[in-house]
């Protein structure tokens, strides 16, 4: 049965209303919704009678259009779908419509081969395959790439209509980087698909540049009351001709990119080029060199990384550096994977030996970020870099990097009740050649500060009221040294005496033990951590090479805090450290 455009609009509007189960729909409500929809499409008021909508409901219930919609009336006045998941858009195609589609496919196939209709090829095949499967009820003969769980596809048709009518929209959007959604006016010019993901291209303001919004990040779209905006200078073919994907910088000139593809990957790249500018420069027994004239953007790097070890960037140098850095970071993700066995081992080693080393806790990318943030802060504030205290109070943004998954797993495996009590940053410059002799760090727990003559440090027992002996406190405290640079014996690595953490020693005992013991040299790679118990005998090596050594020293405890502080206050102390 032939159905005119207005009838289809009414059916779709009624269907959309009845899918909304959060509202009760009377006949008058449906008439009002249908009238509004027709006004949107036609741009003028069209009278919709009560009888028209009643006949529409009757038609949707029938088999004439193949809908068989389960529309029911409850409480004698409200309409709804008996099956809450039903929609006419999910209905099978009728035989009559299949016949019409078959005729359309046959008509379109006549144009295949003509240059103006080259892009119709895959669409005609999709249509033909769909008609075949609907007619015969057999499995599809063509399996096209699809992602049924892709979000945002419901906005495709509305956005298409807005672009067609050159209308502005009010869009609610939340990018992956944004903490919360925002609503703004947007002027859409184009819908673009790349790698089975859809984007709407347009502007936010007349004087702003072209931007793309991913449909899977759109929350809602509505027609805006603001007048439309056209950009006569925007030409989609010219705009994207120098770029792969959707990320385009209008003022960025394309670069000559040279890639060497090995012999295994070469056939795939040659038969499916990266870009229309791709040319073969040379080839040898091991592979082929190709050139591209494209902008350096995210999608270019993604295409290169997708070939893994099968491709090597020859030029430009900046792209080469970026790819190398990302590959190193990718390997680093695997290197920093800590399993339960590692955690159990280091926890036992800390308990019985008094120390432990765990490399690859932080990725090289994390370490680069930490170094940059420390260097920037020290330069801006002209602060002393060695022994800088209250680190996380001065640079709270460090927490997002420091307290990563590995950090939390490690602390929990040692003492699930531990909280951070102190954070100090040490930066040994290449000019410094200091070292410390054998000693123990003596922990204290105090009830109050007392001004006392000779008192110099809170690690000194003088001048405080001690709650319990250092040996007892040591069981519930430990420190972590996060190394931002490679630390070796030549660069002043700590030497420790394993098992010396169970007793407070006097000077004679320290001399006797260190003279007759073979110390362990704590060499730690950048991104690794060194764990220590407070009473562990340790000394620093004399530096033999002048290299920078940066360490972030954290101290943890699970002992009762002074004055009966509760857990929430410990958390606050953790955040203030």
Write out pLDDT tens, residues 290-311: 999 999 999 999 999 999 999 9
pLDDT of the residue at 92: 59
pLDDT of the residue at 122: 57
The CATH number that domain 5-90 falls under is: 1.10.10
- Alpha carbons 366 and 361: distance in angstroms, whole number: 10
DSSP string, 193-214: EETTEEEEEEESSTTSPPEEEE
pLDDT of the residue at 238: 87
CB atoms within 10 A of CB 149: 6
pLDDT of the residue at 95: 58
Greatest Cα-to-Cα distance within the chain, rounded to the nearest angstrom: 106
CB 132 within 8 A of CB 141: yes
pLDDT of the residue at 135: 56
Residues of the chain with pLDDT under 50: 1-2, 111-116, 454-467, 564-577
Q: Is 43 left (phi over 0), alpha (psi -120 to 50) or beta?
A: left
**Closest C-alpha to 301, from 330, 326, 279:** 326
pLDDT of the residue at 148: 64
Per-residue model confidence as pLDDT tens digits over 80-123:
998 888 888 776 555 555 566 666 666 555 544 444 455 555 55
Neighbouring residues of 196: CB distance < 8 A, sequence distance ≥ 6: 145, 146, 147, 150
* CATH class name, domain 340-576: mainly beta
Burial environment of residue 415 by CB neighbours within 10 A (0 to 12, 13 to 18, 19 or more): middle
pLDDT of the residue at 261: 95
- Alpha carbons 210 and 187: distance in angstroms, whole number: 10
Q: CATH fold of 153-240, please?
A: SH3 type barrels. (2.30.30)
Burial environment of residue 23 by CB neighbours within 10 A (0 to 12, 13 to 18, 19 or more): exposed
CB atoms within 10 A of CB 9: 17
pLDDT of the residue at 463: 36
- Alpha carbons 551 and 524: distance in angstroms, whole number: 11
Q: Which ranges in 444-518 belong to alpha helices (H)?
A: 470-474, 507-515
Q: What is the pTM of this model?
A: 0.63
Helix (H, G, I), strand (E, B) or coil at 140: coil
Helix (H, G, I), strand (E, B) or coil at 76: coil
Which tokens hold the place of 374?
């420390």
């Amino acid at each position: 049965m032939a159905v005119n455009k207005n009838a289809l609009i009414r059916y779709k509007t009624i269907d959309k209303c009845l899918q909304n189960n959060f509202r009760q729909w009377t006949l008058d409500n449906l008439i009002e919704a249908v009238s509004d929809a027709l006004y949107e499409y036609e741009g003028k008021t069209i009278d919709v009678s009560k009888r028209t909508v009643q006949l529409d409901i009757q038609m949707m219930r029938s088999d004439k259009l193949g809908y068989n919609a389960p529309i029911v009336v409850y409480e004698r006045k409200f309409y709804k779908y008996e099956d809450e998941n039903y929609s006419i858009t999910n209905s099978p195609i009728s035989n009559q419509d299949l016949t019409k589609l078959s005729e359309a496919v046959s008509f379109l196939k006549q144009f295949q081969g003509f240059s103006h209709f080259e892009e119709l090829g895959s669409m005609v095949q999709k249509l033909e395959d769909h008609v075949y499967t609907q007619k015969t009820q057999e499995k599809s003969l063509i399996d096209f790439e699809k992602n049924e769980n892709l979000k945002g596809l419901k906005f495709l048709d509305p956005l298409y209509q807005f672009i067609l009518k050159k209308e502005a929209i009010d869009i609610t959007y939340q990018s992956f980087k944004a903490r919360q959604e925002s609503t703004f006016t947007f002027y859409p010019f184009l819908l673009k698909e790349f790698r089975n993901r859809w984007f709407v291209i347009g502007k936010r303001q007349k004087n702003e540049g072209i931007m793309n919004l991913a449909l899977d990040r759109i929350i809602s779209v509505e027609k805006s009351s603001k007048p439309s905006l056209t950009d006569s200078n925007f030409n989609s073919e010219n705009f994207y001709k120098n770029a792969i994907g959707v990320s385009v910088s209008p003022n960025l000139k394309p670069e000559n990119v040279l890639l060497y593809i090995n012999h295994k990957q070469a056939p795939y790249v040659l038969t499916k080029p990266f870009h229309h500018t791709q040319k073969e420069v040379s080839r040898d027994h091991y592979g082929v060199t190709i050139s591209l004239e494209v902008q350096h953007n995210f999608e270019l790097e993604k295409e290169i990384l997708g070939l893994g070890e099968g491709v090597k960037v020859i030029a430009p140098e900046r792209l080469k550096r970026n790819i190398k850095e990302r590959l190193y970071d990718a390997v680093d993700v695997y290197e920093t994977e800590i399993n339960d066995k590692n955690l159990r081992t280091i926890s036992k080693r800390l308990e019985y030996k008094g120390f432990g080393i765990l490399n690859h806790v932080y990725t090289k990318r994390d370490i680069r970020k930490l170094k940059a943030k420390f260097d920037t802060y020290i330069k801006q504030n002209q602060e002393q870099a060695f022994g800088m205290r209250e680190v996380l109070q001065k640079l709270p943004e460090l927490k997002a990097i420091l307290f990563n998954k590995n950090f939390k797993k490690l602390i929990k495996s040692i003492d699930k009740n531990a909280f951070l009590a102190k954070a100090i940053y040490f930066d040994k410059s290449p000019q410094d050649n200091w070292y410390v002799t054998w000693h123990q760090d003596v922990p204290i727990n105090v009830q109050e500060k007392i001004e006392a003559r000779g008192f110099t440090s809170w690690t000194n027992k003088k001048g405080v009221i001690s709650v319990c002996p250092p040996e007892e406190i040591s069981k519930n405290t430990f420190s972590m040294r996060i190394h931002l640079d490679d630390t070796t014996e030549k660069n002043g690595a700590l030497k420790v005496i394993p098992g010396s953490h169970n007793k407070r020693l006097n000077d004679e005992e320290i001399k006797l033990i260190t003279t007759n013991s073979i110390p362990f040299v704590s060499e730690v790679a950048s991104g690794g951590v060194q764990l220590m118990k407070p009473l562990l005998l340790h000394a620093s090596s004399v530096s033999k090479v002048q290299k920078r050594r940066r360490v972030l020293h954290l101290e943890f405890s699970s002992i009762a805090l002074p004055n009966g502080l509760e857990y929430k206050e410990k958390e606050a102390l953790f955040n203030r450290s």
